[in-house]
Structure 1
Amino acid sequence: MNIPKWILDVFYSYLTSELIYFDGEYPIATPVATFFNPTKNSIILSTSVSFYNKVKCIKQNPNVSILYSKHEYSGLSEKPVVLVHGSAKVHEKDFEKNNAYLSKLIEEQKETWKKEVYIKMGRELDSFIGRRLMDWYMLRILIEIIPDGIVCWKKEANILGSVDDLSKTIGSVKGDAVFAFMGEKYPIGIPVKLRKSNRKFLIENPTLNLKEGQKACLLIHSHNKYVKEITLTRYKGRISRISKTSRISRISTREGEIGEIEFIPTSKFSFKQGGILNSIRFILDGKRRAKKFLERYKKT
């Protein structure tokens, strides 16, 4: 696939993106850092063994998506949104080899603020204190994604490759939250505007093929320019109502378009980085999870 330079700039510059994968019947969106391998035209991300559930899910169904929607601190004058569909391959046999590969790949990235941030982060983790506290975090599993199709919104929607799920998408997408749902083959994620109303969310939506009762996921996350002070809230739930009129922007859509969907959460997960107590909990929980994983790993 011939990927345009302005999309490659997004891959190289956006500090974080959202990985969207299947967990049983639910699509799940989670923040990740990705790095582009120009030799293989692949997207690389990694996760600690302490968070193995996403790896387990991806091994069961390798059809995933990566959404690039958070343009803050990218340094790009334009702020496109890019959604990549692809097949994921898990590399989990050699953690040292994974770390060496990832470090080399980051060093070879285009000169951007993103590269500077993650090189600095790697040095912090490799310090004496970092190795004592975060040794479990450095047991990394690599996930390699080969793009099968790309949908990108700049001034209007553009499609590269095979993306039947979004072939009828028109207009632009924007918003501070990510709404994930199931497509025909891949999970899909788009940035959306939303408003909370009692125990449900009203989500303004572009033209997409959604159905009432459909299971979905809503992700709200943020970080600063150093990818610190991370906050994350994720809801799993279902679409309870679809309307042609948006109560958020007070506009009616054209015939056949969806103006607003009503999303009812059935579960919630929250995480907040920073503060002594939060840091201690994060480290202790990570060490406990890593120990449990390694005990199982040695038996296989």
Structure 2
Amino acid sequence: MTVSAATERIRDAVYDSLTAEFATARGDRPAVVPVTPFFDREREVVVVTAAPAFAGKAEQAAANPRMSLLLREDESRLHLTGRATVRDADLEANTAVVERLIRDEPPSPKRTAMVEAAEFLGTRLGLLLLDWYGLRILVEIRPTAIDERPTDGTTTVPTWSAAGVDSGEAETYDQMVATVTDDAGYPRSWPVSSATVRDGRLRLTPPDDVTPVDGQPACVLAHWHDADLEKLEQRLIRGRCREDARGLVFDPASSFHLRNRTARDRLRFIVDGKRRTRTYFADRGQTYRPVPRLRTLIEW
């Protein structure tokens, strides 16, 4: 089967992206979260995943399949819009799919990080702490269009008190992305390189194919992670675009902060994950039983 040039380009960008910014929309209100993307060569779709404890992005994609993904491509970014299909009927079967997708990745630091993470989840300690994390919801993305997003490869995030970002937090971030929805309801994202904040508002310079209007809902995601995704931090800031005398700005209204950097952060992540997983199954009238993982714990 011949692979089109566009499909090959998407596949290569997915392979180059340890993380990418995944955007969904509820009406005209976008939301963005960092994910690790995979490419399914059998189906020629991009795949992102979610643990049931953190199923929000999958639930939003199920409610509105129009989405976008901002991938890495050499020195620039590749912006993919597409339609999502959520696979959540058999989470353990989905885990086997993810293991195949990891094996299909070409040798790279990304593949190494994913293999090491999968191997830890299979250890007794991994099963004790993160048995819930190995279950996976799949979101398959069938691309509809791609666009280039030029970037100078640098990101500086300033102290931004109006968005809850103090100087210590700002210094950690090395990625920043702004997102709005277009007239067709698709989220449209672009990287923010040298961020400038004045009077609590972030200066925006969208690409030519994105034309926000005054008062339009928007969001900004700032995040960072280490090479193996063991430590990470992110803040999603919601607000609106505004026109002022200098041009387009983003006016923040609220923000959500997630951090996994310290031992306390990791403990909170584990406890939260177990609690959220039980809630996920209870909401569906099911009981979560970590089998066959339970047998492994009994034999420990």
TM-score interval for Structure 1 and Structure 2 normalised by the shorter chain: 0.7 to 0.9
Alignment match, 1:196: 197
The aligned runs of 1:31-50 (5 Å cut-off) are 31-50=34-53
Rounded to whole Å, the distance in 2 between the matches of 1:209 and 1:203 is 11
Alignment match, 2:108: 112
Alignment match, 1:249: none
Tell me how many residue pairs correspond in the alignment.
Answer: 260
| 1:27 to 2:30 alignment | yes
| 1:68 to 2:64 alignment | no
For residue 128 of structure 1, the aligned residue among 119, 124, 128 is: 124
- Aligned residue for 2:142, secondary structure, equals strand
For residue 275 of structure 1, the aligned residue among 252, 262, 266 is: 262
Alignment match, 1:179: 178
Letter in 1 for 2:222: I
Alignment match, 2:158: none
Deviations for 1:160-197, whole angstroms, at most 9, x for unmatched residues? xxxxxxxxxxxx34554100100122111110132223
CA deviation after TM superposition for structure 1 residue 152, in Å: 2.3
Unaligned runs of 5+ in 1: 72-77, 154-171, 246-259
Letter in 1 for 2:260: Q
Kindly indicate whether the alpha-carbon contact (under 8 Å) linking 2:20 and 2:70 is maintained by their aligned counterparts in 1.
yes
Q: TM-score w.r.t. structure 1 length?
A: 0.81
Alignment match, 1:102: 98
Deviations for 1:202-242, whole angstroms, at most 9, x for unmatched residues? 22333331101000010001111112320101101001225
- Aligned residue for 1:218, secondary structure, equals strand
The aligned runs of 1:1-300 (5 Å cut-off) are 2-3=5-6, 5-69=8-72, 78-153=74-149, 172-174=150-152, 175=155, 176-185=175-184, 186-193=186-193, 194-207=195-208, 208-241=210-243, 260-298=247-285
Deviations for 1:120-140, whole angstroms, at most 9, x for unmatched residues? 111112211111111121221
Deviations for 1:227-259, whole angstroms, at most 9, x for unmatched residues? 23201011010012256x5xxxxxxxxxxxxxx
Rounded to whole Å, the distance in 2 between the matches of 1:294 and 1:103 is 23
CA deviation after TM superposition for structure 1 residue 280, in Å: 1.3
CA deviation after TM superposition for structure 1 residue 55, in Å: 1.9
Rounded to whole Å, the distance in 2 between the matches of 1:43 and 1:221 is 22
Q: CA RMSD in A?
A: 2.0
CA deviation after TM superposition for structure 1 residue 24, in Å: 4.3
**Superposed structure 1 runs of 4+ greater than 4 Å apart:** 4-7
Rounded to whole Å, the distance in 2 between the matches of 1:198 and 1:33 is 35
Kindly indicate whether the alpha-carbon contact (under 8 Å) linking 1:233 and 1:269 is maintained by their aligned counterparts in 2.
yes
Rounded to whole Å, the distance in 1 between the matches of 2:90 and 2:212 is 41
- Aligned residue for 1:28, secondary structure, equals strand
CA deviation after TM superposition for structure 1 residue 199, in Å: 2.6
Letter in 2 for 1:225: A
Q: TM-score w.r.t. structure 2 length?
A: 0.81
Unaligned runs of 5+ in 2: 156-174, 288-300
Alignment match, 1:167: none
Q: Structure 1 pair 201/59, CA: closer, same or farther in 2 (3 Å)?
A: same
Q: Structure 1 pair 12/139, CA: closer, same or farther in 2 (3 Å)?
A: same
Letter in 2 for 1:16: T
- Aligned residue for 1:10, secondary structure, equals helix
CA deviation after TM superposition for structure 1 residue 5, in Å: 4.5
Q: Structure 1 pair 4/88, CA: closer, same or farther in 2 (3 Å)?
A: closer
